[in-house]
Amino acid sequence: MNGFTIRGLHLKEDFDAVSLLYAGIWGSEPGSSPLSAEAMRALAYAGNYVAGAYEDSRLVGASVAFFGEPIGISLHSHITGAVMGRGVGLALKTHQRQWAMVRHLRRITWTYDPLIRRNAYFNLVKLGARPKEYLTSFYGAMDDAINSGDESDRVLAVWDLTAPSPPAMSELPAGAAHGVRDHEGRPDTAETDAETVLIDLPDDIESLRRTDPVAAMAWRLAVRRTLGGLLAEGARVVGFHERRRYVVRRPTTRS
C-alpha cells in the first residue's frame, strides 16, 4: 500500500479524526464536516466500509462506503478524502476493492464532479471506472470551499470489479469531433452527429470558480448539456484523452 497502513475503523476517536480530516480537505468548519463522526460510527457498526489510511500513525486519508442496489452485488462509495499527491487515494481504492471482493461484490459505484480533470483521470484511467449517468445538481447547494458558487452536478461512476481494466487511450478514433472545445479558457460548444464525441474540460475548475464564476458556470452548462445529453441517449464514455477530454461513443444503430 505504498508505505501506508489502511485499516477498518471502529472507535469514536477514529471517526472524530476522520470528520476533522474531511473538514480540512473540503474547507468546512470543524462542526460542518461533509460527514459526521456519528454517521460513520453507525455505518461501521452496521457492517459497511469505513477505513482510514495512516502514515507513521498519522491519518492521511479515509473512505466511507455502504452497500447499495442490487443488494449483494454493489457497494456505493460515498466519500473518499486524502492528502493530495501521495498515492493515498489509490491505496484506499485498492483496499476498498479488496474489501468488496472478499464479500463477493461485483461493482463499486460513486459520484464525482465531471469538471475536475484530476478526478476524471483518476477514475477513468487509474482505476478503469466508467461514467454511467449524469446527475444534475445532485446534492443541491453546497457551501464548502471546493463546491461553493457552483451547482453540484455529478456523474455516477461504475467500477466493474470482474472486468479487466480498459487500456489507456493514446490515440483518438477516426472521425472524432468536439462537442465541447476549450477555446482560450472558455467552452466552445458545437453540434455534431459524429459517432465519437470529444468533451474538453477546463484546466482548473476549482480556481475558475473563484476567479471567474461566469466562465465556471459556462463550463458547467456546456458539459451538462453535452455529456449529460449523450449519456441520456445511451452513449458510453470510452476513455479520457491527454488528461483533459472525455471520449464518448454514441450507440450504433443496426438496421
Q: Give the mean pLDDT of 37-57.
A: 96
- Name the pLDDT band for 28 (thresholds 50, 70, 90): confident
Q: Which of 63, 65, 61 is nearest to 74 (CA)?
A: 65
Per the listing, cell 465541447 goes with 180
- Of 200 and 141, more confident: 200
Q: Is residue 254 scored above 60 in pLDDT?
A: no
Q: Which of 230, 222, 228, 229 is nearest to 251 (CA)?
A: 230
- Name the pLDDT band for 31 (thresholds 50, 70, 90): confident
pLDDT tens column, 76-126: 999 999 987 789 999 999 999 999 999 999 999 999 999 999 999 999 999
Per the listing, cell 472478499 goes with 102
pLDDT at 104: 97
Q: Which of 129, 75, 71 is nearest to 100 (CA)?
A: 75
d(CA 157, CA 105): 16
Q: Is residue 2 scored above 80 in pLDDT?
A: no
Q: Give the mean pLDDT of 197-205.
A: 97
Q: Work out whether strand 245-249 and strand 196-200 pair parallel, antiparallel, or are unpaired.
A: antiparallel
Report the chain's mean pLDDT, rounded to a whole number.
93
Query: Which range (29-43, 135-149, 160-174, 180-194) has the least confidence?
Result: 135-149
Q: Where are the domain boundaries for CATH 3.40.630.30 in the chain?
A: 5-160
Query: Structure pTM?
Result: 0.91
Amino acid letter, 177: A
d(CA 115, CA 123): 13
Q: Is residue 144 scored above 90 in pLDDT?
A: no
> Residue 22 corresponds to which cell in the numbers above?
474531511
Q: Give the mean pLDDT of 165-186.
A: 92
**Superfamily for domain range 5-160:** Gcn5-related N-acetyltransferase (GNAT) (3.40.630.30)
Q: Which of 222, 244, 252, 238 is nearest to 131 (CA)?
A: 238
Chain centre distance of CA 1: 21
Sequential DSSP letters for 63-98: EEEEEESSTTTEEEEEEEEE-TTSSHHHHHHHHHHH
Q: Is residue 147 scored above 50 in pLDDT?
A: yes
Q: Which of 159, 156, 171 is nearest to 227 (CA)?
A: 156
